[in-house]
Amino acid sequence: MNLVKFALLAAVLCCLLGAGFFWALKKPPLYHTLGFGRGADSVTLDPALISDGESASVGVQLFEGLLRFSDDYSRLDPCLATSWEGSADGKEWIFHLRRGVRFHDGNPFTAEAVEFSLRRKFDRRFSYYRKEFLDVDQSLLSIKGLEAVDPFTIHITLNTPFAPFLAAIANYADIVSPEAVRRWGTDFEKHPVGTGPFSFVEWIPEDRIILRRNDDYWGERARLDRIVVRSIPDNNERLLALKTGAIQVMDGISPDDFEEILNRQDLHLQATPGLNIGFLAMNLNKKPFNLIKVRLAVNYAINKQNLVKIAYRGFAIPARNPIPPTMWGFNDAIADYEYDPAQARRLLKEAGYKNGFETTLWTMPIPRPYMSEPRKIAEAIKANLNAVGIKTTIYSCDWENYLARTANGEHDMALLGYTADSPDPDDLLSTNFSSEYAVTPNAGNIAFFKNADVDDLLMRARQEVGLPRRIELYKRVLALIHEQAPWVPLAHAQTVMAYRSEVHDILHTDVFWFNKAWRE
The predicted structure's pLDDT at residue 30: 52
Do 44 and 53 touch, CB atoms closer than 8 A? no
How far apart CA 302 and CA 382 sit, in angstroms, is: 9
From 421, 360, 353, 363, select the one nearest 389 (Cα to Cα). Answer: 353
Q: What is the DSSP string of 248-311?
A: SEE----GGGHHHHHT-SSEEEEEEE-SEEEEEEE-TTSTTTTSHHHHHHHHHH--HHHHHHHT
Pairing, β 33-38 against β 249-250: parallel
Query: Which pTM was predicted?
Result: 0.80
From 334, 253, 310, 304, select the one nearest 38 (Cα to Cα). Answer: 253
Q: What is the DSSP string of 264-279?
A: -SSEEEEEEE-SEEEE
Do 372 and 254 touch, CB atoms closer than 8 A? yes
What's the 3-state SS for 80-100?
CEEEEEECCCCCEEEEEECCC
Fill in the DSSP letter of residue 57. H
From 222, 247, 267, 252, select the one nearest 54 (Cα to Cα). Answer: 252
265-291 core/surface letters (b: 16 or more CB in 10 A; e: else): eebebeeeebbbbbbbbbbbbbebbeb
Query: Tens place of pLDDT for every residue, the chain, 520 residues?
Result: 455 554 455 554 454 444 444 434 444 455 599 999 999 999 999 999 998 889 999 999 999 999 998 887 778 999 999 999 999 888 999 999 999 999 999 999 999 999 999 999 999 999 999 988 877 777 888 899 999 999 999 999 999 989 999 999 998 899 999 999 999 999 999 999 999 999 999 999 999 999 999 999 999 999 999 999 999 999 899 999 999 999 999 998 888 899 999 999 999 999 888 889 999 999 999 999 999 999 999 999 999 999 999 888 888 999 999 999 989 999 999 999 999 999 999 999 999 999 999 999 999 998 888 998 899 999 999 999 999 999 999 999 999 999 999 999 999 999 999 988 788 999 899 999 999 999 999 999 999 999 999 999 999 999 988 889 999 999 999 999 999 999 999 999 998 899 999 999 998 877 889 999 999 8
Give the count of alpha carbons within 13 A of 134, CB side only: 14
How far apart CA 90 and CA 82 sit, in angstroms, is: 19
How far apart CA 387 and CA 385 sit, in angstroms, is: 5
In 411-466, where does DSSP find H-type helix?
426-433, 452-463
Pairing, β 153-158 against β 143-150: antiparallel
* Residue 241 one-letter amino acid: A
Sign of CA dihedral 183, 184, 188, 190: negative
Do 391 and 356 touch, CB atoms closer than 8 A? yes
The predicted structure's pLDDT at residue 10: 52
Q: Which H or E run contains 53?
A: helix 53-62
The verdict on whether omega for the bond into residue 369 sits within 30 degrees of 0, i.e. cis, is no
Question: Rounded to an integer, what is the distance from CA 292 to the centroid of its chain?
Answer: 31
Fill in the DSSP letter of residue 187. G
Q: What is the DSSP string of 17-47?
A: HHHHHHHHHHSPPS--EEEEEESS--S---T
Burial of 162 (0-12, 13-18, 19+ CB in 10 A): buried
What's the 3-state SS for 91-146?
CEEEEEECCCCECCCCCECCHHHHHHHHHHHHCCCCCCCCHHHHHHCCCCCCEEEE
The predicted structure's pLDDT at residue 11: 53
From 206, 226, 122, select the one nearest 172 (Cα to Cα). Answer: 122
Give the count of alpha carbons within 13 A of 198, CB side only: 28
Domains in the chain (CATH in brackets) are: 64-182 (3.90.76.10), 192-270+496-519 (3.40.190.10), 276-495 (3.10.105.10)
From 181, 63, 51, 169, select the one nearest 116 (Cα to Cα). Answer: 181
How far apart CA 180 and CA 263 sit, in angstroms, is: 48
The predicted structure's pLDDT at residue 368: 86
Do 79 and 64 touch, CB atoms closer than 8 A? yes
How far apart CA 101 and CA 439 sit, in angstroms, is: 39
How far apart CA 414 and CA 233 sit, in angstroms, is: 20
